[in-house]
Amino acid sequence: MTAPPSAPRSRVARALLSVSDKTGLVELGQALAELGVELVASGGTAEALRRAGLRVVEVSELTGSAEMLGGRVKTLHPKVHGGILARRDLPEDQADLARQGIGLIDLVVVNLYPFEKTIAKPGASRAEAIEKIDIGGPSMIRSAAKNHAFAAVLVDPADYAEIVEELRREGCTLSHSTRERLATKAFARTAAYDAAIHAYLSGGGSLETLDDGLPARLHLDLPRAGSLRYGENPHQRAALYGSFFELVETLHGKELSFNNVVDVQAALSLIGEFDPSEGAACAILKHNTPCGAGLAETPAGAYRHAFATDPESPFGGIVVVNRTFDLDLARAVDEIFTEVLIGPDFTPEALGLLRKKKNRRLLRFHPERIDRSELDWKKVYGGVLVQEPDLASDEMAHAQVVTARKPTDDERRALAFGWKIVKHVKSNAIVFAAADRTLAVGGGATSRVDAVLAAREKAARVGNRLAGSVLASDAYFPFPDGLEAGVTAGATAVVQPGGSTRDPEVIAAADRLGIAMLFTGVRHFRH
């Protein structure tokens, strides 16, 4: 929408305030009163303004009707909505107001009952949630937003100062463009509010619960977090939406690109597999897939293990660690160009060194803010695919040994490490590993044997010996050839989901070759 060329400014003579979040309320009320604006308020809002020494007209005084039903009904009245919705340029509307003794309301300041915060609290009951569904608030917001040709609506305390400044500067009037912008924001707020209520009800065992536990209707309402320089390629425009930058904080470097954000997501997903209390973990990623990962006592040691997997690929890649990025690690990664360095924190010494190069980004992630249980979705023509995240993590504890030979304790540790990594490699995926590092990675192949051969070839090219390694496969071997190629490369134990009609042939091949093999029963395709 755009304002007509001659759209008039609207005078603010009376404001109605009814807020749950009292942030900035008194300051706003004082500023409006100084401008000669009459203040009308309800309940706790009126009380807060009065305590600040401001003269306030109660909504019940305006309507002639007392609040009822424990405050559920107080602003749902013609003298409220008539004053908000009346068109100032329509004689019939003005005549209706005069007959009913209704005064105009020029500014509506409302924020809603904290429904989202209530349901986010541990142990919040359904009754508590229902009581935090606001009725009068959204009605007033929508009335003022609909009638933004004449009235203004404020739903965010962050906008108070700017609106007060315009009122002071422009003789207590607001422009059409300001009213229109505020109306647009108001409708976005009520849409998000209703979506939150719907999501709660449809996922909470009531109105629209489906047997699969997924919502009956998907609402997506995310604020624009920022523009990106371009998409996957320079000719594609792109932007980022949502709260990503509340989870990931930029400490240095230019803004992230579309591809950077995708890679950072992959990096955070992988590093989330490793508990910092169990050791320092590091992964190096390129093009949304790991090219190496390691475990050690220190982040620098873990990085060296990861780097040794594939010294050719880390140039221009992503490095993520699960412990504080220290000076030793900073010195190690400073030897080559890396696009993005990610850690839960950075020491001052590490930051001092790493900030010397302008063409790298330093990101601090907040693991306590990341919800790994969020639904995954992907855009398709005409809709969105939605799935639960791939969080299965205890498969190794229940894996079945299907061969005559059992894995040794060292092999089990290596298999567990490889299994954590292979789920983050694009399918078809193969990882050769030791107990504390990857040795070769093959991913994105169109056949499983090709993934094995690619990993084997990479290991040979960079000088990594695979003798005595273990092999992890994200899905079953459809034929014995992939397994045989892995054993030829040096693997002595294998972990895979199983589930092929040819499993007996693959197991027989493993027994013939004298290796140990585990079936997890869980596949980890990543497309």
Domains of the chain, start order? 10-203 (3.40.50.1380), 247-369 (3.40.140.20), 395-519 (3.40.140.20)
Beta strands in 287-413 (DSSP E): 289-296, 318-321, 340-343, 361-365, 376-380, 383-387, 400-401
**504 pLDDT above the threshold of 90:** yes
Please give the average per-residue pLDDT across 346-361, as a whole number: 93
- Alpha helix segments (H runs only) across 319-360: 327-333, 348-354
- Catalytic amino acids? 146, 287
Residue 29's alpha-carbon distances to 104, 148, 173, 181, in angstroms, are 18, 21, 16, 22
Neighbours of 312 (CB within 10 A): 10
Least Cα distance to 445 among 459, 460, 462, 426 occurs for 426
Structure tokens at 508: 């027989």
**269 pLDDT above the threshold of 90:** yes
**Percent of the chain whose pLDDT exceeds 70:** 92
Integer Cα distance of 157 and 152 in angstroms: 14
Higher pLDDT, 441 or 226: 441
Phi, psi of 252 (to 5 degrees): -165, 145
Out of 94-103, 144-153, 387-396, pick the least confident. 94-103
pLDDT of residue 84: 85
Tens digits of per-residue pLDDT, 215-247? 666 767 677 888 888 899 999 999 999 889 999
- The residues, ordered by sequence, that sit 6+ positions from 291 with a Cβ below 8 Å of its Cβ are 284, 285, 309, 310, 313, 314, 317, 441
Q: What is the pTM of this model?
A: 0.72
SS3 317: coil
Most confident range (mean pLDDT) of 50-64, 155-169, 475-489 is 475-489
Q: Residue 242 — left, alpha, or beta (φ > 0 → left; ψ -120 to 50 → alpha)?
A: left
| Long-range CB pairs of 189-198, under 8 A, 24+ apart, other chains included | 189/112, 189/141, 189/155, 189/156, 190/138, 190/141, 190/142, 191/221, 192/221, 193/112, 193/115, 193/116, 193/134, 193/138, 194/138, 195/219, 195/221, 196/115, 196/116, 196/119, 197/115, 197/133
Please give the average per-residue pLDDT across 74-93, as a whole number: 76
Please give the average per-residue pLDDT across 1-23, as a whole number: 76
Integer Cα distance of 481 and 499 in angstroms: 16
Structure tokens at 522: 């869980």
pLDDT of residue 205: 36
Structure tokens at 134: 């606001």
The 3-state secondary structure of 373-390, one letter per residue: CCCEEEEECCEEEEECCC
**65 pLDDT above the threshold of 90:** no
Residue 513's alpha-carbon distances to 74, 235, 407, 429, 479, in angstroms, are 80, 52, 14, 22, 15
What residue has token string 């990623």? 285
